[in-house]
Amino acid sequence: MNIAINKIQTFRDDFTYSNSPEAIARFPFPFTDDEYKYTVNMEPHQPKDGENSVYARFFDIDEHYLSEMKERSLVLAEMPKRCLVMPHMELACWDMIEKIMTSLAAQYPQHFSLTQDGDNWCWENKLLNIKDSFVFGDSSTLPKPPMEYIGRQIQGDFALLDQRDDDLFLDAGIVTCPADWSLMFDAGMSFSEWHGPVPMAPSQNIFERALKYLVAIPVGRPVRRLNWTLTVNARMDTASETYHKWGHERSEVNAENVAEKVHLRVELQVIDRMPRSNALMFSIRTYLISLADISTNPQWAQRMHRVIKTLPPALIEYKGFARYHQHVVDYLAQFDESAAGD
């Protein structure tokens, strides 16, 4: 696939972000049933759905690349602590650099290249006009600390989880487009601690089971899952940090603007064992699509109507769209024949 990278669009202020028909066609639509069910829905992170799908490569680079990298630099300029690395995670950061550079160079050779001569590496990112030579493992030879350096060149948020005492700890990350959480606050937490706010904890057992599964993930066997929520406007940075700036937008949805304003926000989460440090790399690649664009696919719109309608209230509250849930249901009803009279 030869991706045409868009000119820079915005995820704030005038929100010029838009999806091309190709981007809509490959959108990772997350609903597999006609009603809401809680599932952990993990699967091996293997290519599927053909050459154009978001699952075709280990990391997905798409038309929004330049826009998302610009957005990330705006966030980091305002709040440098959105990138946070505890000292014992340095080796894991180099694991992350190795994984990202080798994958991108192999899978997008038209945009990225990597030459390795022992520990002397040369990395070229043609999309951002970056070319740097450095010594692998020696952070002083990079223009920025390792996680920030590579994080500014790849779409999606990243966390590195340290594994010890059969538990996972959120000890490093670059998080500029999270769905309403704060890396600065959650840093250092154990698996169960950072999931603290998840409501209706679908029985503690599910978390214990998920943790045991994650700590056993072997090298070379990455897994993925999709998670989703709704976001008002095409706002990438819905961090807790900026909630005071975007919270009011949740009150501004009405019947006239719901189709354009409300976006389905899907996270493609990939969890991969890092060989050198034994850390887990947790990447969260976020995709945004307006309800109007979803409705170009009538099957999607119908299914989404049924899911959103049957969501438990506690989840609507947790995901933050109680104020405009009904507008979404009402709008999507027109695409669901069985919903006459909603």
| Chain residues in the site for other proteins (CB under 8 A) | 81, 88, 137, 163-165, 180, 182, 184-189, 192-197, 199, 201, 204-205, 208, 212-213, 216, 218-221, 240-244, 246-248, 250-251, 275-278, 317-318, 320, 323
CB 291 within 8 A of CB 258: yes
* Cβ proximity to other proteins, 173 vs 320, nearer residue: 320
Shortest reach from residue 223's CB to other proteins, in Å: 12
* All residues at 6 or more sequence positions from 118 whose CB lies less than 8 Å from its CB, including other chains: none
Looking at the Cβ atoms of 39 and 338, the one nearer to other proteins is 39
CB of 8 to other proteins, least distance (A): 27
Q: How far is the CB of 334 from other proteins (least distance, A)?
A: 27
- In terms of phi and psi (left: phi > 0; alpha: psi -120 to 50; beta: otherwise), the region of 209 is alpha
| Closest CB to other proteins among residues 156, 178 | 178
- Please provide residue 183's backbone torsions phi and psi, each rounded to the nearest 5 degrees: -60, -40
- Two tokens at 214? 């994650």
Quick check: is 26 catalytic?
A: no
Q: Residue 88 and residue 86: Cα distance in Å, rounded?
A: 6
Least distance from other proteins to the Cβ atom of residue 63, Å: 31
Closest CA to 99 of 268, 275, 284, 287: 275
- Cα dihedral 237/242/248/250 (nearest 10): 40
List helix spans (H) across the chain: 21-25, 65-78, 90-107, 146-151, 183-186, 191-194, 204-215, 243-246, 258-261, 291-294, 298-309, 313-319, 325-333
* Residue with smaller CB distance to other proteins, 129 or 204: 204
Place of tokens 């599927």: 48
User: In this complex, which beta carbon is closest to other proteins, that of residue 38 or of residue 185?
Assistant: 185
The distance of closest approach from Cβ of residue 211 to other proteins in the complex, given in angstroms and rounded to an integer, is 10
Q: Extract the tokens encoding 172.
A: 């490093």
Note whether 24 and 297 are within 8 A (CB): yes
CB of residue 311 to other proteins, shortest distance in Å:
15
| Alpha-helical regions (H) of 152-195 | 183-186, 191-194
**Given 57, 225, 250, 323, the catalytic residue:** 225
Residue among 147 and 170 whose Cβ is closer to other proteins: 170
Could you give the residue numbers annotated as active site? 225
